[in-house]
Chains A and B, each alone.
Chain A
Amino acid sequence: MKLTLQVWRQERPESKGRLISYGVNDVSPDMSFLEMLDVLNIELVKKNEVPIAFDHDCREGICGSCGMMINGRAHGPGRGIATCQLHMRHFKDGDTIVIEPWRARAFPVLKDLMVDRTAMDRVMMAGGYVSTKTGGMVDGNTLLIPKPIADEAFDAAACIGCGACVASCPNSSLMLFVAAKVSQLALLPQGQHERKERVESMLAVMDENQFGSCTNTYACEAECPKEISVTHIARLNREFIRAKITA
């Protein structure tokens, strides 16, 4: 099939970007979206142009590197997938596809479709861990975690940190990401001792990094490649209240 792509091109973080139109021919429905961009990039290089920069790596939806706004949707049409898992069979001949980077003040554009998501690392550094040290651990089976709890914690832990929650949110809020980590560790016995400090400190760093606040539109849940539920945001809110009202 033949497609028209309108791709955001921006040379440097400080330069002004714009949408540029490219035609791509011979797109196979079995191609992944990123493979389609690979083909375009080869053509661009051959034409002596600079290829489109975008982050990607594992191409199986787990590393969280890729992410672009495709026709106004984070990771494009479909549910529960990252951009790399989107296949061209979701489009039809003659379609125009608008491709933009994640847009948020906290995710400045580095080049073209590549953005800086290190703000998420900073939030993690503020408490997205159990303060263990290597060595001297008790046997894993001395800590009993019933299956339903382990399963729910896993659902939250499945977050791949791609930033689609921020990109799709009308407020560029990071709440689902923070909630996923806070919720995972609040559910597990290992996370109990630092429960209060964790939620307070991660939320404070989230605010510092100029993400917006949650208005419960639930766009994040709809676009999350791992379909992480907003019930984890409710738990985050509970954890916050708990931290504030208990001594």
Chain B
Amino acid sequence: MVLESNIPEGPIEKKWTNHKFTSKLVNPSNRRKYTVAVVGTGLAGASAAASLAELGYNVLAFSYHESPRRAHSIAAQGGINAGKNYANDGDSVYRLFYDTLKGGDYRAREGNVYRLAEVSGSIIDQCVAQGVPFARDYAGYLDNRSFGGAQVSRTFYARGQTGQQLLLGAYSALARQMETGGVKFFARREMLDVVLVDGKARGIVARNMLNGKVESYAADAVILATGGYANAFFLSTNAKASNATAIWRAHKKGALFANPCFTQIHPTCIPVSGEHQSKLTLMSESLRNDGRIWVPKIKDDKRLPQDIPENERDYYLERQYPSFGNLVPRDVASRRAKEMCDKGFGVGPSKMAVYLDFAEAIKRVGKEIVKERYGNLFDMYKQITAEDPYLQPMRIYPAVHYTMGGLWVDYNLMSTIPGLFVGGEANFSDHGANRLGASALMQGLADGYFILPYTVGNYLAGTKFETVKTDHAAFKDAENDVDATIMKLMNVNGTKTVDEFHREYGKVMWEFVGMGRNKAGLEKALTLLPKIREAFWKDVKLTGEANDINTELEKAQRVADFLELGELMARDALHREESCGGHFREEHQTDEGEAMRNDEKFAYVAAWEFKGIGTEPAMHKEHLVFDYVKPSQRSYK
């Protein structure tokens, strides 16, 4: 299989413009004849569904939530990047492109990343028009703040709830289309299979979570915008229901899965408090603007943080990276925190935490300003830990947060299955091996508002469609497969609950496929993970009925898919004999402990083809070409 990225010809700043011009168009009066199924209604899905419906396409939108407004995009806190140079600090589209490519450790396509930077400004304008209450200054202009991995202020924000405000903006556009009938919204539907007819994606099969009915929906194109797969680790900052089922089932139907090992560990999360822990809570990266990270200079220091004098504190990021200081990219900050804890300098009851201290900021700008900037985050922290960050430093530790990997897509965001498009975190695209802060919201909305509406149209206009209805044999087969899997799960009747399996699996994933990876560990994971998968199918216990609301069954389906995906993540991590971005192979580091890339051997996208459960997948390479930004050793010193 040859992977065609379909990057348009021409200079980088003209590629997208040229592509839009050469794309085929669907006549406005013909658009209503096409049906597009959009699975997932977070930032990417809701914006794509609304925009396509505005153009006149007939859109079916699916969510496993009761309402589009519940999607996990809502939890993004810090902000959204855009290269508008409002701060007059030398920002530009090119700089945003450069920073994103460099931040991703040169494992993304130049063409895609440039396009992302190019449309970033329009996203802000679009959201402003929708009434998103971005932070403003007293004169009324949009305010910016800085984020990790950049030396300019280009992050637009709405207090600590930017994701919420952007999602509610996209949701409002979607609600408007739901009212006009342009979008038919199907709530509480979980996509369990994508249906292929003549090799093209022609619809989906979904389970109605209210009554267990397996339903088929036919379409001319399918967009998956179903988010990332960080919950493979059980403990992550993702929402409880976030899952990989849609993309994994598409993968099993032939869509290649790219760079599955690229997972992002977020440096500032609230540490684990005990065995009961069900998920981890992120504290926005924006906190690193004013918070200083430190550990005591003495190992196992028992003193309270406020009792430790300045000269006995190690502000290790400021010491090691004088120019970026506390604002180094996420992967660097995370690894350094782990290193400090592994060396015994960790703090808190578990000793697996470092301090994030606001005392200096409070002294410098006053408590009120700090409260205005981070009030909701401080409150959230206090709720969870019963400690007041205005009075004592936060304790933080890295946690799995985002997955850069995902289904392989070309420049048109189409997977290797014709007619199956993938947007947002679900695709592998633009962040390379590491995503910079405030870039996820940017990418999700870029895909949904400004890219998919063009590229889906291009596909529809250039493809011949046979009429396919849900009584087609392909739908019946898919329904039967889905039913069979459900019944198989219901009938195991073992002894262990889904959560127990998931937690056990997650621990193996975190230990061996987590922040630091090595050959021996990954090989061990590849022997342990299949065992858990096999045990799951022999010993999982579900109660209740399949034809009813059944939360255990919902979880079981998702976990069953994670149990397969985890192996692919480990396999990909094992094959990638280099360190880059969020993928840190302990064998490949500089003397100073920095990630060491191997551009000669690994400047490619690893796209995996499914060959059966427990069978080794086939890897296909898409070589990355860098015409504009020459890969260099990332340095944030």
| A120 interface residue per 8 A CB criterion | yes
* In the complex, residue of chain B having the shortest beta-carbon distance to the beta carbon of A65: B70
CB closest chain-B residue, reference A124: B175
**Given A57-B72, A60-B281, A153-B133, residue A39 in contact with residue B276 (CB < 8 A):** yes
Whether A161 lies near B67 (C-beta < 8 A) is: yes
Do the beta carbons of B140 and A145 come within 8 Å of each other?
yes
Q: Does B449 contact A (CB under 8 A)?
A: yes
Q: Mark B481-511, 1 if CB is under 8 A from A, else 0.
A: 0000000000000010101100000000000
Is A103 at the interface (CB under 8 A from chain B)? no
Q: Which residues of B contact A133 (CB under 8 A)?
A: 54
In the bound complex, CA of A130 to CA of B173 (Å) = 8
Interface assignment of B213: CB less than 8 Å from any CB of chain A:
no
Tell me, in angstroms, the Cα distance from A116 to B129 when the chains sit together.
31
A85-B384, A130-B130 as given contacts; A63 in contact with B277, CB under 8 Å: no
Q: Report yes or no: B241 in contact with A132, Cβ–Cβ below 8 A.
A: no
Whether A110 contacts B549 by the Cβ 8 Å rule is yes
B499, A129: Cβ atoms closer than 8 Å: no
Contact: B543 with A49, CB < 8 Å? Answer: yes
Q: What residue in chain A is nearest B50 (Cβ atoms)?
A: A134
Q: Is B239's beta carbon under 8 Å from chain A? A: yes
Chain A nearest CB from B343 CB (Å) reads 26
Residue A80, interface by CB 8 Å: yes
Q: Which residues of A contact B453 (CB under 8 A)?
A: 134
Contact, CB under 8 Å: A45 / B543: yes
Q: How far is the CB of B107 from chain A (nearest CB, A)?
A: 29
B379 and chain A: residue at smallest CB distance: A80
CB distance from A127 to the nearest CB of B (A): 8
Q: Quote the shortest CB–CB distance from B440 to chain A (angstroms).
A: 15
> B179 touches which one: A30, A120, A125 (CB < 8 A)?
A125
Give which listed residue, B140, B158, B187, B383, contacts A146 with CB less than 8 A.
Answer: B140
Residue of B nearest to A148 (CB): B138
Assembled-state Cα–Cα distance A138/B129 (Å): 8
Q: Say whether, besides A53-B549, A146-B140, A128 and B172 are in contact (CB < 8 Å).
A: yes
Q: Verify if B51 is at the interface (C-beta below 8 Å from A).
A: yes
B138 touches A59 (CB 8 A): no
A87–B383 CB distance below 8 A:
yes
Pair count A-B, CB < 8 A = 221
- CB-nearest residue of chain B to A55: B66
**Interchain CA distance A155-B188 in the complex, whole Å:** 29
Q: Are B67 and A118 in contact (CB under 8 A)?
A: yes
Chain A residues touching B, range: 35 or more
Which candidate, A92-100, A182-190, A215-223, A231-239, is the interface stretch facing chain B?
A182-190
Q: Which residues of A contact B602 (CB under 8 A)?
A: none
Query: Contacts A87-B383, A188-B131 known; A124 to B172 CB distance under 8 Å?
Result: yes
| Chain B minimum-CB-distance residue to A140 | B128
Given contacts A45-B541, A63-B74, contact A121 B131 (CB under 8 A): no
B173 close to A129 (CB less than 8 A): yes
Q: Give CA–CA (A48, B552) in the complex, Å.
A: 12
Q: Are A185 and B75 in contact (CB under 8 A)?
A: no
Contact B70–A147 (Cβ < 8 Å): no
The stretch of B159-167, B292-300, B392-400, B572-580 that contacts the partner chain: B159-167
The reply to whether the CB of A73 lies closer than 8 angstroms to some CB of chain B is no
The answer to whether A62 and B164 have CB atoms under 8 Å apart is: yes
Chain A residues with Cβ under 8 A from B158's Cβ? 154, 157
Query: Are B137 and A147 in touch, CB under 8 angstroms?
Result: yes
| 130-159 of chain A: CB within 8 A of chain B | 130-135, 137-141, 143-147, 149-150, 153-154, 157-158
Which residue of the partner chain, among A60, A114, A132, A147, contacts B130 with CB atoms under 8 Å?
A132
Choose from A28, A44, A137 the contact partner of B274 (Cβ within 8 Å): A28
Query: Which of chain A's residues have a CB closer than 8 A to the CB of B124?
Result: 140
- Tell me if B590 is interfacial: C-beta within 8 Å of chain A: no
Complex-state Cα separation, A80 to B365, whole angstroms: 26
- A153 and B541 alpha carbons, distance in the complex (Å): 48
The CA of A85 and the CA of B276, in the complex, are separated in Å by 15
Please determine whether B541 and A46 come into contact, CB atoms closer than 8 angstroms: yes
Tell whether, in the assembled complex, residue A57 and residue B133 are in contact, meaning their CB atoms are under 8 Å apart: no
Q: In the complex, are the beta carbons of B70 and A64 less than 8 A apart? A: yes
B210 interface hit (Cβ, 8 Å)? yes
- How far is it, in angstroms, between the C-alpha of A42 and the C-alpha of B543 when the chains are bound? 11
Q: Cβ of A61 < 8 Å from any Cβ of B?
A: yes
Residue of A with least CB distance to B135: A150
- Cross-chain contact B128 with A59 (CB below 8 angstroms): no
Neighbour of B549 across the interface among A89, A114, A144, CB < 8 A: A114
30 contacts between A and B (CB under 8 A): A30-B273, A32-B384, A38-B278, A45-B542, A46-B541, A51-B543, A51-B552, A59-B240, A63-B70, A64-B70, A87-B384, A117-B67, A118-B66, A118-B187, A120-B67, A121-B68, A121-B185, A124-B172, A130-B131, A132-B129, A134-B47, A134-B449, A137-B126, A144-B140, A144-B141, A154-B133, A154-B158, A157-B165, A184-B133, A190-B131
**Which 10 A-B pairs give the minimum distances between C-beta atoms?**
A144-B140, A129-B172, A137-B125, A140-B128, A150-B136, A134-B51, A154-B133, A125-B179, A57-B239, A153-B133
Which A residues contact B (CB, under 8 angstroms)?
Answer: 11-12, 28, 30-32, 34-36, 38-39, 41-42, 44-46, 48-51, 53, 55-65, 80-81, 85, 87, 89, 110-111, 114, 116-118, 120-121, 124-126, 128-135, 137-141, 143-147, 149-150, 153-154, 157-158, 160-161, 184-185, 188, 190-191
Q: A42-B499, A157-B168 provided; 4 other pairs, C-beta below 8 A?
A: A55-B66, A150-B134, A160-B164, A188-B133
